[in-house]
Amino acid sequence: MEKVVIIGAGPCGLSAALELQKIGIDPLLIEKENVVHSIYLYPTYMQFFSTPELLEIGDHPFSTPHDKPYRLEALNYYRTVAARRKLRVRPYHRVTEISRAAGGTYELSVVDQSGDTQVIRTRYAIVATGYFDHPNLLGIPGEELPKVTHYFREAHPYAGTRVTVIGGSNSAVDAALELHRAGAEVTVVYRGDTYSPVIKPWVRPSFESLVNKERIHMKFSSQVIRIGTSTVTIASGGSSYDIANDFVLALTGFHPDRSLLRSLGAEFKDDDEVPLYNPETMETTVPGIYIAGVAASGRNANEVFIETGRLHGRWIAADLAAKQELD
């Protein structure tokens, strides 16, 4: 039987594992893809908003010549830390269910790539699942068309095409800039009536300049209400109109998966989105079940970042250390 199983090997799951190592616990990490898969899904050339020291885990320095590191540097950093600390990561295994077992323990149903299921028993479990598998859907006609995606990797495939970007946050602005540089005709559709205050300050001037020169078409106080095979329909000011379109990037954010916590009967706040937990220990209303990272956020996954979520492991480790002393 395992002492602790961590579900998810993202930065916050890895951080929790490193903190547990400090108190003599060697946790098993179960990851449905590979180490820090969510960062792998980020745009290929993305630069973080955070400085490297705010992304560090387990007291391992994050060395980079840049003020703010890039995606590729982060992938290298996290997988190197995991390897050097010999973390027991079981990649490409998915936890499909957690159930209560005898003696206050839990059983995890784990499915591998071949579809075989294994049951792993543990005393404690930390749910550190991310959110990138669960985009916030628009719920509009045509969203299921193959030309629509909720992910942006790089601009090259869109060269010479007409692209509509839905959203106004950093991801939408970064994508629009890359698409423009690659030769796409870009229209950004945003519900807000002005630029989002969260846009990176070193990016916004370039974006605004291109909008002012009408090299990027910005539609404020607007929303896409229908996606056709060669058009999108935009509603604004009580009326609607169509524009020509080849591809749609619906960069409307993501939300955490709550299925594992709900299967255990964990309690949630009134909106049924944010799990109830002790902010000093990260333990949920189910004894022995903890959360770390964006699992502690609501529908707005941006409430928890790596720089804050990485601290959750410290609080969990402190609580488990106290419980070990009592045992």
| pLDDT for position 306 | 85
| pLDDT for position 299 | 59
Q: Say yes or no to pLDDT of 303 above 70.
A: no
Q: Say yes or no to pLDDT of 91 above 90.
A: yes
Q: Comparing 142-146, 222-226, 267-271, which segment has the lowest mean pLDDT? A: 267-271
Over range 180-187, report the average pLDDT: 98
| pLDDT for position 131 | 78
- Given a contact cutoff of 8 angstroms between Cβ atoms, the answer to whether 261 and 253 are in contact is no
Architecture of the domain whose range is 148-250: 3-Layer(bba) Sandwich (3.50)
pLDDT tens-digit map of 28-70:
999 999 999 999 999 999 989 889 999 999 999 999 999 999 9
Contacts with 95 (C-beta within 8 Å, 6 or more apart), sequence order: 7, 30, 32, 108, 109, 110, 260
CATH assignment of 2-133+254-326, given 3.10.129.10, 3.50.50.60, 3.40.50.970, 3.40.50.300?
A: 3.50.50.60
Q: Say yes or no to pLDDT of 4 above 70.
A: yes
Q: Using pLDDT thresholds of 50, 70 and 90, give the confidence band for residue 305.
A: confident
Q: Using pLDDT thresholds of 50, 70 and 90, give the confidence band for residue 327.
A: low
Same fold, 2-133+254-326 and 148-250: yes
No. of helices (H) and no. of strands (E), the chain: 8, 15
| pLDDT for position 272 | 58
| pLDDT for position 146 | 97
Q: Comparing 101-105, 169-173, 300-304, which segment has the lowest mean pLDDT? A: 300-304
Q: Say yes or no to pLDDT of 82 above 90.
A: yes
Q: Using pLDDT thresholds of 50, 70 and 90, give the confidence band for residue 8.
A: very high
Over range 90-110, report the average pLDDT: 96
In SS3 terms, 181-202 reads as HCCCEEEEECCCCCCCCCCCCC
Over range 131-140, report the average pLDDT: 87
| pLDDT for position 297 | 75
Q: Which percentage of the chain shows pLDDT scores above 90?
A: 83
Return the amino acid letter for 210. Answer: L
Count other Cβ atoms within 10 Å, centred on residue 111. Answer: 16
Q: Where are the domains of the chain?
A: 2-133+254-326, 148-250
| pLDDT for position 257 | 81
pLDDT tens-digit map of 192-237:
999 999 898 989 999 999 999 999 999 999 999 999 999 999 999 9
Rounded-to-integer distance, Cα 157 and Cα 135, Å? 21
> What one-character-per-residue DSSP string does 99-133 give?
EE-GGG-EEEEEE-TTS-EEEEEEEEEEE---STT
Mean pLDDT (the chain, rounded): 93
Contacts with 135 (C-beta within 8 Å, 6 or more apart), sequence order: 150, 151, 250, 252, 253, 254
Q: Say yes or no to pLDDT of 153 above 80.
A: yes
Residue of 37, 162, 13 whose CA lies nearest to 88: 13
